[in-house]
Amino acid sequence: MANNFGETTTADEAASFYANEIKGKIVLITGCTWGGLGAEAARAIAKHDPKLLILAGRKQEALDDTVQKIKEESLEANLRTLIIDLASLESVKKAAAEVNQYSEPIDVLINNSGIMATPYHTTIDGFEGQLGTNHLGPFVFTNLILPRILASGSRRIVNISSGFTCLSDVRFDDPFFKNGEAYNKWAAYGQSKTANVLFARELAKRYGSKGLVAFSLHPGVIQTNLARDVKPEEFQQPIYDAWGQEFDSSLVDYKNLGQGASTHIVAAFDPSIEKDSGSYLSSCKIANDSPFLKPYAKNDEDAKKLWTLSEKLVGQTFSQ
């Protein structure tokens, strides 16, 4: 199914195009606060008769607000909420247990939630905040509900990454920046976003024989609540990567919310890209040659190594 989508395609346009693929699907999206990419993707999907949309997030009142706003546009949409705080493994495990009690399988999981360029902090479990919230929480959640995904007909996982993967590889020997002593908030963000890409690659490799399809993607640079810890003027200043090189700001592709969420829809529902499982998307296209995607983010050995490190950090192994 070829599309002519690109940088300006909106989530509504993509969802309309894939209406037949959306119809009857059960979709779980994390990070569904209104005004963010997760809620925008959910809003667009809800218009095309999914069997069930599960909206996950930290605060019930924020999820209720999203439900109310989606219902204003799609009154008949079947919506369910799920509380999950990805910065707490206890919360992650509780949410996964709830999903595993559902009678329905999960056709599509969109790991959308995340934080960006935050001051140094640790999660409840002692992980550097960005790696803990953006990768280790989703890593545990995804693995714990994997049986529900493999039980479905679609078996698709989408990790929302970023173009800022180019700011850092995974620091296998020091993922927590010497417990903050060597902290660079942009490198820490880059590390966590590289981890999102490598996690999708390893999922595709490990479970491809069971029909699982996994992708990561760059949504573009969108003004959402993700950047709440970044002052607007910081984007006008040089951003330096983990090696002290200045980020090339001319590469930045600014988009509005609808344009940002469109690649979520393509990655989640386009049947023609299943053969490219493990790939990275940008502007609604497979983009493994993106200037943002450095060789370390395409390294299968690093993907395998990250899986092992993640299991060690969270104190849990996940067998195939």
pLDDT at 226 over 60: no
Q: What integer pLDDT is reported at residue 320 of this predicted model?
A: 65
What is the phi/psi pair of residue 178, to 5°?
50, 45
Q: How high is the pLDDT of residue 104?
A: 96
Which of the four pLDDT bands, split at 50, 70 and 90, describes residue 50? very high
- What is the per-residue pLDDT for 237? 82
Q: Considering only 22-26, 96-100, 167-171, 254-258, which range has the smallest mean pLDDT?
A: 254-258
Closest CA to 143 of 311, 313, 312, 296: 311
Instruction: Give the tens place of pLDDT for each residue, 140-168.
Output: 999 999 999 999 999 999 999 999 999 99
Q: Report the distance separating Cα 66 and Cα 80, nearest Å.
A: 11
Average pLDDT over residues 193-215: 98
Q: Does position 264 have pLDDT exceeding 80, yes or no? A: yes
- Residue 309 is predicted with a pLDDT of 98
Q: Of the ranges 43-57, 98-112, 195-209, 231-245, which one carries the lowest mean pLDDT score?
A: 231-245
Active site residues: 189
What pLDDT, on the 0 to 100 scale, is given for residue 96?
A: 98
The verdict on pTM exceeding 0.85 is yes
- Write the pLDDT tens digit of every residue in 173-189: 999 999 999 999 999 99
Which phi-psi region, left, alpha or beta, contains residue 108 (left: φ > 0; alpha: ψ -120 to 50)? Answer: beta
- How many other β-carbons are positioned within 10 Å of the β-carbon of residue 315? 9
- Inform me whether the pLDDT recorded for 227 exceeds 90: no
The pLDDT of residue 238 is 86
Mean pLDDT computed over 23-46 = 97
Report the distance separating Cα 99 and Cα 106, nearest Å: 9
In Å, how far are 12, 88, 118, 173, 220 from 262, measured between CA atoms?
7, 29, 26, 36, 10
Q: pLDDT-derived band of residue 280, with 50, 70 and 90 as boundaries? A: very high
Q: Which CATH number fits domain 11-314: 3.40.50.720, 3.40.50.20, 3.50.50.60, 3.90.1310.10?
A: 3.40.50.720
Report the distance separating Cα 200 and Cα 202, nearest Å: 5
Alpha helices in the chain (DSSP H): 11-17, 19-22, 37-46, 60-73, 89-100, 129-131, 137-150, 185-207, 257-269, 300-314
- Which DSSP category does 84 fall into? -
The residues near 304 (Cβ < 8 Å, ≥ 6 apart) are 202, 205
Q: Where are the domains of the chain?
A: 11-314
Cβ contacts of 308 within 8 Å, gap of 6 or more: none
Comparing C-alpha atoms, which of 280, 291, 209, 216 is closest to residue 250?
A: 291
